[in-house]
Every structure is written in C-alpha cells, then in structure tokens.
Structure 1
Amino acid sequence: MKFFKKHKGTTLDHNLFINNLNGILQALSINLVMPFASLYTKRLNGTDNDIALLNAYPSIFAILSVFLGTYLFRKYKNKKKVTALFFGFGRSFFLLFVFIPFLPASIQASLFVLLYGAMSFPNSIANMGWQSYLADLFPEKWRGRAFSKRSTLSTLSALVVTLITGNLLYFIPKSDSQRIKLYQIFFIIAFVIAIFEVGSLIKHRLDKNSKQVETITEFENEPLLDKLKNIFRLVVKNRIFLDYCICVVIFHFAWQMGWPLFFSYEFDILHSNESWSSIIATVSCIAQAVTFPLWQKLSEKKGNSFAIFIAIFLMGVTPFLYLLSTSIIHVVFFNAITGSAVAGTTLLLLSNLYETAPNKDRTLYIAVYTVITNITLMFAPILGMKLKGLTNIYTALLVVGILRLLSSGSFYLRYLKYKKKSV
C-alpha cells in the first residue's frame, strides 16, 4: 500500500514506527464505534438486560475463539498473516451494524448486542496473535517502552476521534432517527480506516533469528484430551504464571462487574448523553496519554509487580468516586484519576503477562490468560446488574469498590512473595 512509505533504519526502528502507526489507526477505527456501543443500544430501545449482555456476550465468543486461535497459531506459525486476517474479519462487523436499523424494531437492540458479542470471536483471535507477535518483534527491554509509546499515541488519537464523534452525534441530529443514521455513517468510516489498520500490521518485520521469538512444544498425534492435559501440566508447572493468573481472575471479576454499573449510573442517574460521554472519554484519554510514560518509568524503577499493585489500587477507588458524584461534571473531573488508573492497568497487565509467560509456548500461556479473563466476563457484568436489581446502584457500586480493593491486596501479596524470593 503506497500509504505506508518505506521506513529507513534498523528493523527495531522500523517496527517501532509501524507499531505506533498501527496503534493510531486502530484507535481511530475502534473509537468511532466501541465507546458509543451502549448508547447505540439505548437508541435502539435496549434494556438494562441488553446492556449487561453487551458486556457479557463478548466473553462467550472470546472463549470459543481461543481453541481455534491456539490451533491456528501453532499449526501455521505465521502469526502476522493469521492476526491480520482475523483483525480484518473482526472489523467487517462494523458494516453489519450499518444494516441493523433497517430490520424490525423489535429485534434491533438484541441483534446488535448479539453481533457485538460475536465480533469478539475474530477480535480475540487477532488480539491473542498480536500480543504474542508483539513479544516476538521486540526484545524484552523494549516491550514495555514500545507498548507505552504506542498506547500514548493511540490514546491521543482516541481522544480526538471520541470527542469529535460524540459531539457530532449529540448536536447535529434533531431526532433519534437522524442520530442512528449518523451512527451508520461512522460505522462505514470506521471500516475504511480499519483497512489501513490491517495494512499497517502487515508491514511489521520479524527477525526469526532473534532469541525472543517463541519456540513451540509439539503435541503431535495425540488425542485432544491428552493435548489439553499436557497444556494444563505445562501451565501449572510455571508457578509464577499461575500466581499471576489467580490475582488476574480476582481483579477482572471486580473490574468487569462495574462496567455496566458505571454506564447505568451515568445514563440513568446523572442523565449522560453522547456529548457528555465523549467529554468523559476525552478527559480519560488525556490522563492516560500523560501517565503511560510515568507508569512505564515506575515499572522500570520498582518492577512490574509493584507497579501493577498501585494501578489496581487506583482502580479500586473508581466506584467510590462515582458514589461521590452528584453531577455528570463530577464524573468528568474524577476521570483524570480513573483514566490514569486505566493506563497503568492496561500497560502493566500486559507487561506482567510477558514477564510471567516464557518465550517457549508463549501463545499457549496467552491463550490460558485469555480464557480465564473471559470466563469472569461471562458472569461479572450480569452479576453486577443483578446486584443492582436486588439492592440499588449505590450498594452495587460499594460492593464493586470493596472487591477491587481486595483484588489490589492480592497483587500486593504476590509482590511481597516474589520480592522475598529475589532477596
């Protein structure tokens, strides 16, 4: 593609440049769609149950995708092509969203929620491949820096596109029918940008002789059950990875439980709309862009294990900040804190994953990580909304906040355990 000029320099310089460009294009594409998925569901007359399923369905499809993804990456070895193929497949769902308003009104919201969940199938395979391929591309000391720089640039790109999109969706349309048409236009634009996103991914160069490239344990000519047993033994033997997964499961359950609750509090209690959502996202993006390099410096100075404890602790504060918010403006200001917490969490979850998963059979470890984090996603959002129904939004947020703080405690105990062993 002529859009991507040949970049001069070392292979590392080239991959850093392409990685940043890919991150920017990815941010532009997905942030035309995903930040507004819940509001789009509401515009299609979706219910609280639809919102909960919007968060839960992706996990079901993600878990199913892991088996196919693991098989493909182990069989074909060419992670770049398989990853690009499934990223393209996933982004094509944006076009399917365009046709939903033409269908009977009674099924529009439910169908959108189902398709949004199904989109997670190819996206999860692509993300699993990208996480493993990123580790192949960059030496260990460069992984955190590469991901931090990419995240900063992609977050700034997300800031711009989310702010513009949200305000256009709110101020231009004079009715919900006009607003839905504008959503359809943005879905098409997102797909077009995604074509360039996939094109940039293909431009990465892999030095197959690098020591960080994954090596694979072969389980040839074995029944499926025996293969699963061997994979289980492989993972269990790695105690460092196992301890990390235990902490991750506790945290992800508490993290994901709050997702629909935050939207419900913003929309139902504080009367948010597309414009306010874009402003909230903008403040969060600014906070993330500013703090990504700071989190990376903290991890290099104090270690990934300590840094992620701080990030998860800040995530635990988020539900309490919502409880203090009596106006949507309060949520906007508090997102300066929650945005920095999100930056640290997303950066350090991946850094800790790379640190605990060895180069040998790395894709298997990433597959296990993907499964366990999506198992919690199957139940956590639904349980969050059920708790809200049994009590109220305030009690539900309080419970989520306590669970998140407890999860940060598990990461601190993990930090102390391995700090003692290293002394």
Structure 2
Amino acid sequence: MNIMRNRPLRNRSKDLRKASVHRKNLQIATFEGIPSTIFQVLLQGQFLTGFLLYLGASSSQIGFVLALTTLVNVAQIGVAFLIQRLPSRKWALVTFIGLHRLLWGSTGLVPFVPQEHWVTAFIVLYTIAFIANTAGGVLWNSVISDLVPARVRGRYFGIRNTFLNALGSLVMYGGGIILDRYPGGHGFLILYIVVWVFSISNIVVFFFYPDVPFEKSEEKAFLPMLKKPLQDKLFMKSTLFLSAWLLLQNLTVPLYSYVMLQLLNINYEKLSLLNVAQTVFMMASFYVWGNLNARHSNKKLLLWTLPIIAVSSLIWGLLSVLPMLPVLFAAHIVFGVGVGGFNQLAFNFIIGDTPKRERPMYMAMYAALTGLAAFFGPLLGGRIYEWIKEWPQWMQIYGMQLVVGVLMILLALLLGRRILRDE
C-alpha cells in the first residue's frame, strides 16, 4: 500500500528533475547565443562587405567571399557520417567551433601583412574558418535538436531568435556608428577588438554545454546512410526546389550592401538603420509565423513566404520614381518578414519533418544542396555586376533586383505551388 502511494511522488520528483535539467540546458543554449551573435554580426553583412572594400576587393571577389560559406556546406555530408563514430559530440563541437571563431577573428590581422596580399590572406583564413564551421554546424544542429524538447521547440526558438536578433540590431547600429566616426582601418581595428573578446567568450560558454545522448543511425556504412534522404521523394523535391529558390535569391541579396555602399554612397549608420529595420520586422514575424505554424504545415507556410521575398526585390524598382531611403526601408522591412519566416520554417522542416535517427544526414543533404545553390548565386551575381558596369546606372542599382523578383514570382507560381503543398 505504501509503495503504491509513494510511486506517484517519485515519478513527480523525477519529472521535476528532468524539467529542471531541460530548463538549465535551454538557458545555456540561450546564453551561448549572446557572444555568438555579437561577434558574428560584426564580422558579416555590411561589415564584411565594408572590410573587403577597405582591403581593395572587387565585386566578384566580394561575391566569392559571400558565397564561400555556403559552398563548404557540401562537406557536411561527410561530417554527418563521421559523427556517427564519435563517442561524444560535445568535445568535437567545442574543437570545431573554437577553430572557427579563432580563425574568423584572425582575419582582423590581415592589414599587418603586405598590402598586395590582403585579399588573398583574408580569403585563405576565411575559407579555413568556414571549413571548420561546417563540422561545427552539423554537430550543433544535431546537439540542439536533441537538447530542445519537441513540445517546446517552436516556442523556444521563437523566443531565442527574437532576443538574439534584438541584440544583433543594437550591435549592428553601434558598429555602424563606430565605422562612421572612425573611418578606415581605425574603425575596423575597434570592431575586431570587440570581436576577439566575444569570440573567446563564446568558446568558453560551449564548455558548459551538456553531453546529451546521441541516437545514432541504424545504418553503419556510408552509402546506405546517404541513400536515406535521397530515397525520400517528398524531402528531395522540397529541398531541390528550395535550392533553386536560394540560387535566384542570392544573385542579388548578398550584394545589397555592395550596391548601397559603392553605388548609392550610403554611409554605415544609414546602412545599419536599414538592417536594423529589417531585423526588427524579422523578429516580429517570428511570433506570427510561429502561431501560423501551430495550424499549418511547415511546407505550406514556406510557400507563403516566397511571394513576400519576391515582392521585397521588386520594391527596389520604386527607386526610379520615389525617394531613396523610404524605398530601401520598405524593401528591407518586407524582406525581413519574408526571410524570417523562410529561415524559421526551413529549420523546422528539417528538424521536425525528418526521422530522428537519420536527422544528421538529412540536415547535411539539405545544407549541401542549398549550400551549392547559395554559393553560385552571389558568385554569379558578383560577375554580373562586373559585366554590367558600363550599362546605365539604374540597371546596376535596381535593374538586377527587378529581373530576379520577376523570376522568383514565376518560380513560386509554376513550381512552388505543386512541390510545397501538403501531401
């Protein structure tokens, strides 16, 4: 009799301990995002483009650098297989994440080598950093999908993304003010000092990540493991379509900063405000997309994001008849709403609509295919901007966006409605 009465209490105590462990793990994952967000915001986007321009890079070299991070994602397929042989994911995660942070931060040392080697030295360090990040990314996605319980996943990532994007907006604006106040090398030196502080802090926080149990694939050999996502027709159709979409989108979007800094002569503070506006509306959209996701599937909502992203590209055409800043703010705001939903729903699609045991290989296949598309997009976009350098300036400033916007609308209508529908 006593045993029967005590059992529910023990079960309740066990549930409370489990809930406490989950809460602690989620707090660590959220806290880790703070230094990660700060140093990444200061090293990418407008700051990356600005630093490359300072180093003397051409538009095609900038396009190559912007595309490089996605090309190395192809290696995730090999990493997804190799992590099945790891006794522990934690220390491999710490190693590769640490290498990425240190090498990416080391690009700030490039101005100390002879000037004729600046761009080459940057590309070498940047490439090695993101090769390490490829392994780190697979490991982090694998760990975080096990760390966050499925029942709270949507709400947790919504809150985490909102908080970190708000922080990123403040950092972005502050970085823009620094570069306007201290132009050239002095400003970038200040940014890189901040980068080093927070990249080291980020590595330290990863030491506190839990070593969660790893549910490994049933397959032991590489080819059978690789065939799992390849034989999933619904997954492959969706992934190939999204890859084609990202190829189009990345013809212009990664080069927005180049157009605004180089062709429209916008200063860093205004550029930061544009990106902050985009981020604020992206954060607001997380809540809306999250609520819609409770009633509609990931694929259906992904389809809804596509025309929004296409319209953001078409808005650039209004530069021909309206003042510059209102048009740019409108384009960034609409893009923030669309891409916020796209990124959140694509992530949910990969970690929620795929088998748990095979998830690392599914994630790797998605990252490899979309990464190839996202690589060739900015690379081709950078080349196109060089080809049309002698064309009328309107074609360089907003003509590309108009062409890409029309193509995206056609792709969404002709293929998207058939591929991203609920089966």
TM range (shorter): 0.7 to 0.9
Q: CA, structure 1 residues 118+318, in 2 after alignment: closer, same or farther (shift >3 Å)?
A: farther
The residue type equivalent to 2:189 in the other structure is Q
For 1:30-69, what aligned pairs fall within 5 Å after superposition? 30-35=40-45, 36-63=47-74, 65-69=75-79
For 1:142-153, what aligned pairs fall within 5 Å after superposition? 142-153=152-163
The residue type equivalent to 2:370 in the other structure is T
The residue type equivalent to 1:257 in the other structure is L
In 2, Cα distance between the equivalents of 1:361 and 1:412?
28
In 2, Cα distance between the equivalents of 1:369 and 1:397?
26
- 2:102 aligned with 1:92: yes
Aligned residue number for residue 216 of structure 2: 215
The residue type equivalent to 1:263 in the other structure is S
- Tell whether the 8 Å contact from 1:50 to 1:110 is kept in structure 2 after alignment: no
Q: Show structure 2 runs of 5+ residues with no match.
A: 1-16, 389-394
- Tell whether the 8 Å contact from 1:57 to 1:114 is kept in structure 2 after alignment: no
- Tell whether the 8 Å contact from 1:39 to 1:273 is kept in structure 2 after alignment: no
Deviation at 1:80, TM superposition (A): 2.6
- 2:202 aligned with 1:197: yes
- 2:366 aligned with 1:366: no
Aligned residue number for residue 14 of structure 1: 24
In 2, Cα distance between the equivalents of 1:121 and 1:262?
25
Deviation at 1:303, TM superposition (A): 2.0
- 2:350 aligned with 1:350: no
- Tell whether the 8 Å contact from 2:59 to 2:386 is kept in structure 1 after alignment: no
Q: 1:378 aligns with which of 364, 375, 382?
A: 375
- 2:278 aligned with 1:284: yes
For 1:4-403, what aligned pairs fall within 5 Å after superposition? 10-35=20-45, 36-63=47-74, 65-171=75-181, 173=182, 175-176=183-184, 180-205=185-210, 208=213, 214-220=215-221, 227-228=222-223, 230-325=224-319, 326-391=323-388, 392-393=395-396, 394-403=398-407
Secondary structure of the structure 2 residue equivalent to 1:92: helix
- Tell whether the 8 Å contact from 2:28 to 2:209 is kept in structure 1 after alignment: yes
Q: CA, structure 1 residues 100+237, in 2 after alignment: closer, same or farther (shift >3 Å)?
A: same
- Tell whether the 8 Å contact from 1:261 to 1:397 is kept in structure 2 after alignment: no
The residue type equivalent to 2:88 in the other structure is N
Secondary structure of the structure 1 residue equivalent to 2:39: helix
Q: CA, structure 1 residues 294+260, in 2 after alignment: closer, same or farther (shift >3 Å)?
A: closer
The residue type equivalent to 1:100 in the other structure is V
Deviation at 1:67, TM superposition (A): 4.9
Q: CA, structure 1 residues 69+114, in 2 after alignment: closer, same or farther (shift >3 Å)?
A: same
In 1, Cα distance between the equivalents of 2:402 and 2:94?
41
Deviation at 1:207, TM superposition (A): 5.4
Secondary structure of the structure 2 residue equivalent to 1:302: coil
Q: CA, structure 1 residues 18+412, in 2 after alignment: closer, same or farther (shift >3 Å)?
A: farther
Q: CA, structure 1 residues 356+77, in 2 after alignment: closer, same or farther (shift >3 Å)?
A: farther
Q: CA, structure 1 residues 354+78, in 2 after alignment: closer, same or farther (shift >3 Å)?
A: same
In 2, Cα distance between the equivalents of 1:144 and 1:353?
13
TM-score by length of 1: 0.86
In 2, Cα distance between the equivalents of 1:235 and 1:23?
30
In 2, Cα distance between the equivalents of 1:102 and 1:203?
35
Post-superposition CA distance 1:236-280 (Å, at most 9, x none): 222221122122211111122223442332123321232222111
- Tell whether the 8 Å contact from 1:23 to 1:151 is kept in structure 2 after alignment: no
Q: CA, structure 1 residues 264+89, in 2 after alignment: closer, same or farther (shift >3 Å)?
A: same
TM-score by length of 2: 0.86
Deviation at 1:110, TM superposition (A): 3.4
RMSD of aligned Cα (Å) = 2.4
In 1, Cα distance between the equivalents of 2:73 and 2:403?
27
Deviation at 1:101, TM superposition (A): 0.7
Post-superposition CA distance 1:112-164 (Å, at most 9, x none): 23432332111122122111211111232322222211111110110111111
In 2, Cα distance between the equivalents of 1:21 and 1:406?
42
In 2, Cα distance between the equivalents of 1:360 and 1:316?
36
- Tell whether the 8 Å contact from 1:94 to 1:187 is kept in structure 2 after alignment: no
Deviation at 1:407, TM superposition (A): 4.1
Q: CA, structure 1 residues 155+110, in 2 after alignment: closer, same or farther (shift >3 Å)?
A: same
Deviates more, 1:52-61 or 1:38-47: 52-61
Deviation at 1:293, TM superposition (A): 1.5
The residue type equivalent to 2:22 in the other structure is L
Deviation at 1:87, TM superposition (A): 1.2
- Tell whether the 8 Å contact from 2:143 to 2:212 is kept in structure 1 after alignment: no
Post-superposition CA distance 1:18-68 (Å, at most 9, x none): 2221222211121121130011111122211221111222233332x4255
Q: CA, structure 1 residues 293+80, in 2 after alignment: closer, same or farther (shift >3 Å)?
A: farther
Secondary structure of the structure 2 residue equivalent to 1:257: coil
The residue type equivalent to 1:189 in the other structure is V
The residue type equivalent to 1:267 in the other structure is L
Larger radius of gyration: 2
